[in-house]
Chains A and B, each alone.
Chain A
Amino acid sequence: MKMPTNSRNLILRTMLVGAFLVLCSCVTSRVEYAFENTIETNVEDGVVLLTRRDNAESETSDKFIDCVKGKLRGGANGIELMDEQIFLDSLFPWFEPRVAPLTADALPDLLGKPGVASKVEEAGVRYVMWLGGAMEVSDGGGSVSCDINVGCFGFTWWENGATYEAAIWDLKNMESTGVISADVTGRSYLPAIIIPIPLIAPTKSTACDDLADELKKQFVSNS
């Protein structure tokens, strides 16, 4: 049976609009870093990635943290990370949100506390990476309405902005080693012609990839 010309045109137009939007649902990313030198590590220099949990409004999602950890551990020049919870428990309460140092300037005070320096040494951790930031919807518009008989029609879009920052501290030298920040924006679309077709911009995964890649570049293994 031959398809009516009107229906064929509608499908063709839908596909063209879809293809156009796929190309447009792009992500722009800017990664900035401030390091004096790359970090040269030896086998005994352990690294732990800790999540900043002191901002109640925009807590970094567990999925994003797992993504960054996975990227850092993987690949040819993967970094071995100590388990975050084990580190936090062994140094309880000094890295808990209520009392954790906010800047590297507080490290001498922290490591001067009874038992803290020896516990850090026992854990074999030299570098602490503090990861913070979150993604939020910054703009959007349009509308989609759905009806049980005819399906959905309309068009909506939204823009996500993600800002993540990773600060690296050297516990041995009690100083900040550097900071990396990733600013990512992405525009997603939801056109609906009978069925809604979500075209989601990969904002979070782009931020994860860019941040982890740049962090890995800063660590150079001497072993």
Chain B
Amino acid sequence: MPCSSKQFYRTGLIVWLLVCVSGCASSKDKPTPLDINSSVPVPLVEKMPVTARVVFSKALNEYVTVETPTRGRSWEIRLGNTNRRVFEDILNSLFDEVLVAEGTDASDNYEAEADFTIVPSVDDYAMLTSGESGSKFYAVSMRHFLDIYRGDGDLAGRLEINSYGRSRAARFTNGSAEIDLATDEAFRDLAVTLIVELPDKLKQAGLISAASPAAADPIESE
């Protein structure tokens, strides 16, 4: 029996609503993966005449976080190798020699010839969409820690780096390009802070001489 056009439209509407609801549910349940592949330019600084040892942990190398905004889809942000690459690039620019080790703490794969050991870790990654903040921007903030150990294995200090990045929201996008760009900016900001603050921290701890190249001193500005 042929169904009336009213019945046909009603059935169509119900099917469409079901598809929408299931679509929403699946997008909330399963975060959209987003691989971050940031890099920073080679910094214009003078190398310090020291040998640094850096220990990269698996947690840093494979950092993944799920961000769920109050509105819209949730994201699985995969920082992956970007953390490691940025730290390696900047430390190689700051120091004469950098010895790379894998592990979780300063004693892992110990090499005696290093003047000090740095163990970087990522503590937090947070993201704010333009919809959440009510602004025209997507914002990303990250917090990293650098534990610095003396040659004898004693903890000499900890450097906390808070970095920020943002990007202008475009129309008719799902937000992936904006998150990517804001994260790029945050890594750039991380690199700047590392260049400026790490030498100071090492000087305070007596791990490099106070007369070491002042390339990384911040500019005095009003």
The yes or no answer to A105 lying at the interface (CB within 8 A) is: yes
Q: Does B132 contact A (CB under 8 A)?
A: no
Which of A56, A93, A110, A116 is close to B192, meaning CB atoms less than 8 Å apart?
A93
B3 within 8 A of A: no
CB-nearest residue of chain A to B193? A98
Question: Shortest Cβ distance from A2 into chain B, in angstroms?
Answer: 39
**Subset of 19 A-B contacts with CB under 8 Å:** A88-B41, A90-B41, A92-B43, A92-B191, A93-B196, A94-B44, A98-B196, A102-B221, A102-B222, A106-B222, A113-B44, A113-B215, A113-B217, A113-B219, A114-B44, A114-B215, A115-B44, A115-B46, A119-B44
For residue A173, CB closer than 8 A to chain B, the reply is: no
Give residues of chain B (188-222) contacting chain A, Cβ–Cβ below 8 Å.
188-189, 191-193, 195-196, 213-215, 217-222
B40 at the interface (CB under 8 A from A): yes
Asked whether, in the complex, the Cβ of B45 is within 8 Å of the Cβ of A114, the reply is yes
Contact: A116 with B44, CB < 8 Å?
A: yes
Pairwise interchain contact B222-A103, C-beta atoms closer than 8 A:
yes
CB distance from B162 to the nearest CB of A (A): 11
Q: With the chains together, A46 CA to B86 CA distance in Å?
A: 31
The distance in angstroms between the C-alpha atoms of A22 and B188, with both chains bound, is: 46
Smallest Cβ distance from A219 to chain B, in angstroms?
Answer: 26
Q: Which label, helix, strand, loop or mixed, suits the secondary structure of the A interface?
A: loop
Minimum CB–CB distance from B60 to chain A (whole Å) comes to 22
What's the A-B contact tally at a CB cutoff of 8 Å? 69
Return chain B residues, CB-CB under 8 Å to A94.
44, 219
Assembly CA distance A103 to B214 (angstroms): 21
Q: B-facing mask of A81-98, CB < 8 A → 1, else 0?
A: 000000011111110111
A125→B3 CA distance, assembly (Å)? 76
Q: Which of B13-56 contact A (CB under 8 A)?
A: 40-46
Q: How far is the CB of A162 from chain B (nearest CB, A)?
A: 15
A99→B222 contact, CB < 8 A: no
- Is A101 interfacial (CB 8 A cutoff)? yes
Residues of B within 8 A of A (CB): 40-46, 137, 166, 168, 188-189, 191-193, 195-196, 213-215, 217-222
Residues of chain A having any CB pair with chain B under 8 Å: 56, 59, 61-62, 88-94, 96-103, 105-106, 109-110, 113-116, 119
Which residue of B40, B168, B218 is within 8 Å of A99 (Cβ)? B218
Could you tell me if B44 and A101 are in contact, using CB atoms closer than 8 angstroms? no
User: Closest A-chain residue to B164, C-beta based?
Assistant: A56
User: A148 to chain B: closest CB distance in Å?
Assistant: 18
Bound Cα distance A99, B221 (Å): 9
Please state if A92 and B46 are interface contacts (CB–CB under 8 Å). no
Q: Distance (Å) between the CB of A114 and the closest chain B CB?
A: 4
Indicate whether A114 sits within 8 Å of B213 (C-beta atoms), given known contacts A93-B43, A93-B195: yes
Please name 10 further chain A to chain B contacts, defined as beta carbons within 8 Å, in addition to the given A90-B41, A92-B44, A105-B222, sorted by A numbering: A59-B137, A91-B44, A98-B189, A98-B196, A103-B221, A105-B221, A113-B44, A113-B214, A114-B44, A115-B45
In contact, B191 and A101 (Cβ under 8 angstroms)? no
B42 in contact with A92 (CB, 8 Å): yes
* Shortest distance between the CB of A130 and any CB in chain B (Å): 13
Pick the most buried of B44, B137, B189: most chain A CB atoms within 10 A of its CB.
Answer: B44
> Bound complex: CA of A109 vs CA of B222, how far in Å?
12
